[in-house]
Copies of this chain bind each other. A is one copy, B any other.
Amino acid sequence: MSIKHAILGFLSWKPFTGYELKKWFADSLSFHWSGNNNQIYGTLIQLHKDGLVTNEIVAREKYPDRKVYAITQAGFDELRAWLGSGAELPRLRADFHIRLAWADMLGDEELHTLIGAYESRLRNQILMCRETLRRGQAEPARTPRETLLWNAVAERNAAVYEDELAWAGALGEKLGRLRLDGSRDVAREDMK
Contact = CB atoms under 8 A, between A and B. Distances in A.
Given A92-B91, A94-B90, A102 B9 contact: yes
Copies of the protein in its oligomer = 2
A150 B174 CA distance: 13
Contacts of A152: 100, 167, 171, 174
A149 B12 CA distance: 46
A157 interface: yes
Interface string A155-167: 0110111011001
**A12, A104, A171: which has the most chain B beta carbons within 10 Å?**
A104
**A12, A92, A100: which has the most chain B beta carbons within 10 Å?**
A92
Given A1-B95, A83-B106, A94-B91, A100 B145 contact: no
13 contacts: A9-B98, A79-B102, A83-B99, A90-B92, A90-B161, A91-B92, A104-B140, A104-B145, A144-B178, A148-B178, A159-B163, A160-B163, A163-B163
